[in-house]
Amino acid sequence: MKIAIPTDDGFTIDEFYKSAKGFLVTTIESGHIKKQELRTNLITNDSLNSIADTNLSLADCDTLILRNIDPAPLNSFDLVHKEVVRIEGILIAEELMKYIQMVVQKESDTCCCP
C-alpha cells in the first residue's frame, strides 16, 4: 500500500495540497514502513486539471491523507479509486502511525481465522 501526504518539509502536513511543495509517499507492507520518498507536486493553485495532475503524480498511491480538501475534489478522488482520509493533525509521523494502526486493526477485525 502507498500513502501520499502533502508536505513542504517532509515532517509536517501542508494544510492545502495544491500549494504543498510535494508529497511524502510512504510504502507500507505488513503494517511496517518499507520506503519513503518525496515527490514534487505537479499541481498548481490555478491548475484547471488539478485532479488529473494529482492522479498522474500519485497514480500508484492507494490513499491520500489530507488536512483540508473541498467536497468536490474529494468526490473526484473517489472516482479514481483512491481513499481520501481527512485528518486534523500536523505531524506526518503521528498521523501516519494512526492510519497504519487503523488499517492493521481493520484487517485483524476482518480476519477469518479458524
Q: Which domains does the chain have, with CATH numbers?
A: 2-109 (3.30.420.130)
Q: Please tell me which residue, 4 or 50, carries the higher pLDDT value.
A: 4
* pTM of the predicted model as reported, rounded to 2 decimal places: 0.80
User: Which burial class, exposed, middle or buried, applies to 68 when counting CB atoms under 10 A from its CB (0-12, 13-18, 19+)?
Assistant: middle
- What is the structure's pLDDT at 53? 55
pLDDT digits (tens, 9 = 90+) for 95-110: 999 999 998 888 777 7
